[in-house]
Amino acid sequence: RFWDLNRDENYVLSPDVQFGFEGGECINCVSYCCAKGLLAAGTSKGRVAMWRKIAGSEQSTRALEGKEKWKFQASTELEGNVTQIKWGSRKNLLAVNSLSSVVILSEQAMSAHFHQQVAVVQVSPNLFNVTTFSTGATHSLRVDMNVNGVFATKDALVFWNGKQVTVFECSGDTFRSAGSFPCDSQVLSVHGENLYTVEPYRVQVRTWQGTVKQLLVFSEAEGSPCLLDVCGNFLAVGTDLAHLKIFDLSRREAKVHCNSKDLSQLLLGRGGIVSVKCNANGSKVSILVSKADGNVDSKICFYDVDMDKVTLFDFKAERGDSGEKLSAGQGIGKSVVEYPELHNHIPICHFWDQHEPRLFVCEAIPETGLQSSDQKKNQTEGTMDVWIISFFSTEEHGLLLQDSFPLPSSYEVLLGMKVPHYYFAKKLGDAEKGAPEPGSAAVSQMVARRAMRDFTGLGDCDKTTQDAMLNFSFYLATGDMDEAFKSIKLIKSEAVWESMARMCVRTQRLDVAKICLGHMGHARGAKALREAEQEPEPEARVAVLAIQLGMLEDAERLYKACRRFDLLNKLYQASNQWQKALEMAKAQDRVHLRTTHCNYAKHLEAAGEQSLALTHYENSDTHRFEVPRMLSEDLQALENYVNKMQDKSLWKWWAQYLESQSDLESALQYYALAQDYFSLVRVHCFQGNIQKAAEIANETQNWAASYHLARQYESQEDIKQAVHFYTRAQAFNNAIRLCKANNLDDQLMNLALLSSPEDMIEAACYYEEKGEQMDRAVMLYHKAGHFSKALELAFATQQFGALQLIAEDLDEKSDPALLTRCSRFFLEHAQYEKAMELLLTAKKYHEALQLCLEQNLTITEELAEKMTVSKDSQDLPEESRRELLEQIADCCMRQGNYHMATKKYTQAGNKLKAMRALLKSGDTEKIVFFAGVSRQREIYIMAANYLQSLDWRKDAKIIANIISFYTKGGALDLLAGFYDACAQVEIDEYQNYEKAHRALAEAYKCLSKAKARSPGEQESKLAHLQSRMTLMKRFIHAQRVYPEDPKEAVRQCELLLAEQDFDDALRHGDVLGFLLQHYAQVEDFHTAYRCLEEMQKRIPASHLSYFVSPETLEAVHRGAGVPMSPALAPAHTGHSSTDNREVEEEVADEVE
């Protein structure tokens, strides 16, 4: 009994009688082998039963019942009562204790062999299944010995176990013993009537009775033979020292075909050769080797006899050190080919085709411990992760992958190949079920063969066809399409061409497929393939080919690969897989979900399943039409369905049917349920119940119902009701027609205003013709957009109010003549602004500007923009456009709108006038910006001149801009004047002659570089500047030397006072004040007083305090004994604040 803790369930595995157990037989003990997934159980009758756990992910086995997760394998019969059972550490030994004895059971590998169209498979320890494919016969053969190996040929079956060899001769449908002899050879091969066995350093050639005919000797260096293989007429021998030798068996005695080849360089560590196989002409040998731990290596070694070269195919190419330890000895090369799906696999068996020397096949299984978690999850029971891979092996092209596919789950192991089939041993359980794999033909209970990919559908074709198809496959693998076609062009069999077309599905070669379809005469397929060329995805085009060839599974796979779920949905529908189609539409192709339901419903309807068809018609939302059609023969069912669905469309359909059958009362009921008010009114009118129809039309406000009722009233000449219901139906033209015919003028106006422009014009013409209510005619013409007619009528009838309303709706699309006429009308009535707007709308820019000047209308920004013509406009040439802009700017200047004037001058390209306008505005920031972007000499100078007119002494930025603009404008003479002014500011304000001298030096530089109109005048100015700088420098020098040599400083000042140009460079107050200060310090007050008197002569008394401090004045008067006059009394001493001084420091820095 098992208890599944995860699923919280329990179940029982019992020794059933059907498996050979006796009734009442009990299980005493169990042992489980995790590595193999085998559960061994000992019974009370001495039997050992085996169950294998079904492999797969938890998700894949979740749906299985408890005991279904275990599969019975076999039972072994022993003696006694088994009380204890245990697996050994090597996992292939099982110890069994039966009280009287302990028995160790050893796992016996199944023996099987295929050669010369004969296959032998071991069924039980002594029973073998023999199949002869040439005749199709299957036989069972029992051997009285424990067999370790078997070799089959068309003439004999040979069994051995390392101690005994038994030979059975095939004679028709029977097998008779041809010989049996003792022999301790562990390997054996057969060719014709010769047996080949091994002993140390020799291969024995024996007869069937065991007589040794010949010895094939090996040296000690070559080692003892341990591996044999026969293919064609060649025998390949491998030794325990990794040497290889090939013998030619075509003659009476075996001859050496290839000398001994040392393969020890291929071995990793202490590994050895596991298996050798040679091809049909002895030109190539494949070798499997083992690693130091005894496991088979991932590489297959191919030895080319003619080239004496070894090539490697590694399943783990470029992973780890797969080939790094292989020494590059002479004659050994390596070529690694990668196939990602085969990573983490190792080869376990390999074969060459028995007649085609180029064709090689091997079976590869996942290497233990290297499977990823995803691979383990995806692996299912059996051998779905075991791969069969076939190659073409040639000297020119190396290894070319011919085909690869996973080993089908019903097959146990690959036995070999012979074109056009692979041969497999089937699993015992699957063989009993007799379930052949798709694409294969099960010819016996234990052996099956599967057609090679390129031979699918050909059956047992003749050798010419086989060779042609094999060459085609080979050249297709090499990519040589010319040779591929040459190899098959003489083939006439449609089956061959169909097989090739099927191959084109797998290789996705549509160009080849077209030729194949042509040879097949498959016109429908050729047309479908041609129409499929419009599909953008290559896989979708190939899928069409697959469908035409009946390869629906391939088509399904291709559509999924390119995500063309719409085409896959169509495929499912066409192949009658409706559930798949619906699931696909719901999950991936929802845009066709309703269509799929509808198609399925039609399919069900055709099959007579109306109830199910109803459901799918409803799901496709086509039931309103399709169900009445489907049930049209069964009216009672249809009525029940209509009442059940309570759908307005169905009620209406049923009401129409009843009306057609003259059942008007019932029809009215269903029309009311469907809320089809038009039909209700129509039927009531037909019955003469017009009052009831009017109530329905008024209540529902249905346009169609109202229109039908209005027609009825009109036919009865009830004009008032007819107009009312035409109005309710929005059929205003009919209402207007009745009003005109019956002189209903008031209603006519209202209806016309609600109706279309055509009806408005028609009503306006009516009023105009009557000549009574012209204001209505004008209004209607205006509302209808017929402005010219409205204005003409308004002018003719002097309707000024209407004219104003019409003028408001005029725009640039209106007729210019119309606009001009309206503007004149407004001018005559002194509405100048309205007139100007119309003139601008009519693009009469000059007239609008003239009106603005004459009537002194203020040009606003909006008005100025309307007057401005864009550069791209075709209304005015560029010259006229600029002239107009300048006129607008002139007008803005007169009105004092300087900023707007600047903008318009700039748009006209007249930047000088724009700058003048900007200067008048006094916007310093914009002036500086405009000068910076204009980059014109005159504008730079104008901007600098303007900035000089400001209080630049207190703003360092203005000073910097003045200097920059004069420099950029090239006005060096003006810049020199500015520097001169800066120097004067330093003297007048701060008595700083040093900075003033630097400013004059800059002025001198600028003036000397300036281009003067009069060179003489320029020389005179430069001389004057030089003179001033010299005098200033002498005074500065006097100030500097005063602390060290006062007398020299005083002498220099007195000399300066005597200079002729003194007044131009220095101020008397500064020099005399300097002397006065000196004399006051040395207490020569009388001399100081004389300096003071001199100063009083040249400087007003109120200004003395700028040059001499009040304390010094008091001290001089006191020392000279002269009373101080009131005019010299202390008044204002501080003439500048600290802030101003800081600003002037910046000014001086700029000057520098």
What are the phi and psi torsion angles at 104 (to 5°)?
Answer: -105, 115
Single-letter residue type at 215 = L
- Same domain as 1071, residue 1111: yes
The beta strands (E) that lie in 740-810 are given as none
Runs of H (alpha helix) within 133-289 = none
Q: Does 1142 map to a domain?
A: yes
Domain boundary among 947, 970, 993: 970
- Same domain as 218, residue 77: no
- Same domain as 129, residue 21: no
Q: What is the number of domains present in the chain? A: 5
Domain boundary among 606, 631, 647: 606
Containing domain of residue 1023, as a range? 976-1151
pLDDT band at 316 (very low <50, low <70, confident <90, very high): confident
Say which CATH number the domain at 338 has. Answer: 2.130.10.10
Q: Does 916 map to a domain?
A: no
- Same domain as 553, residue 436: no
> What is the Cα–Cα distance from 560 to 539, expressed in whole angstroms?
9
- Give the three-state DSSP class for 406: strand
- Same domain as 123, residue 58: no
Do strands 127-132 and 118-122 pair parallel, antiparallel, or not at all (unpaired)?
antiparallel
Q: Does 896 map to a domain?
A: no
CB within 8 Å of 1137: residues ≥ 6 apart = none
pLDDT band at 1152 (very low <50, low <70, confident <90, very high): very low
- Same domain as 388, residue 245: yes
Least confident of 768-772, 797-801, 934-938, 1078-1082: 797-801
Contact assessment for residue 230 and residue 249, using Cβ atoms and an 8 Å cutoff = yes
pLDDT band at 463 (very low <50, low <70, confident <90, very high): confident
- Same domain as 102, residue 131: no
pLDDT in tens, 805-844: 555 555 555 556 555 655 556 555 545 555 556 555 545 5
Q: Does 699 map to a domain?
A: no
Q: Does 813 map to a domain?
A: no
- Same domain as 97, residue 130: no
Provide the sign of the torsion angle of the four alpha carbons 490, 491, 497, 501, taken in this order: negative
pLDDT in tens, 46-61: 888 888 887 655 555 5
Q: Of 765, 831, 772, whose CA–CA distance to 800 is shortest? A: 831
In this prediction, residues 1094-1109 reach a mean pLDDT of 76
- Same domain as 406, residue 315: yes
Mean pLDDT across the chain: 76
- Same domain as 143, residue 95: no
- Same domain as 321, residue 183: yes
- Same domain as 421, residue 292: yes
pLDDT in tens, 480-522: 767 777 777 767 767 777 777 777 787 777 887 887 888 788 8
In this prediction, residues 175-184 reach a mean pLDDT of 89
Q: Does 629 map to a domain?
A: no
Q: Is 144 exposed, middle or buried (0-12, 13-18, 19+ CB in 10 A)?
A: exposed
Q: Does 1019 map to a domain?
A: yes
Single-letter residue type at 700 = T
User: Long-range contacts of range 994-998, CB-CB < 8 Å, 24 or more positions apart?
Assistant: 994/1036, 995/1148, 995/1151, 995/1152, 996/1032, 997/1029, 997/1032, 997/1033, 997/1036, 998/1148, 998/1151, 998/1152
Q: Is the pLDDT of residue 268 over 60?
A: yes
Q: Does 654 map to a domain?
A: no
Domain boundary among 569, 589, 606: 606
pLDDT in tens, 1107-1145: 777 777 777 777 777 777 766 665 444 444 344 444 444
